[in-house]
Amino acid sequence: MHFIHNENQIVLYSDNEELLAEITFPYIDKDTVNINHTFVDASLRGQGIAAKLMLEVVAGLELRQLKAVPTCSYAKGWFEKHTEYRYLLK
């Protein structure tokens, strides 16, 4: 599985270049992003893809020394379950 990292988005495409999974996190200010959207295609649901996207975001936040405000319902729930990453929340 090869995620493509853009500045404020991480995506997964099929071999046919169809969007299979995506998470977006636009900047709120220079030090903070809003995790505002998570999508996983029905064909991949139940395989932990959204959680993998979140781990990719967390790694990027740590690397770029950013904080996050999750407004996407999945991201909010993920941070509630993974309290070890709460230090990344603003």
Return the pLDDT at 1.
75
| Burial of residue 23, with CB atoms counted within 10 A of its CB: 0-12 exposed, 13-18 middle, 19 or more buried | buried
Calculate mean pLDDT across residues 24-53.
Answer: 97
| Amino acid 21: pLDDT | 98
Q: What is the mean pLDDT of residues 29-38?
A: 98
Q: Give the residue numbers spanning the domain of 58.
A: 4-88
CATH number for the domain that contains residue 54: 3.40.630.30
Q: What confidence tens digit (pLDDT) does each residue in 55-65 have? A: 999 999 999 99
Total domains present in the chain: 1
For residues 58 and 46, the answer to whether their CB atoms sit within 8 Å is no
Q: What is the mean pLDDT of the chain?
A: 97
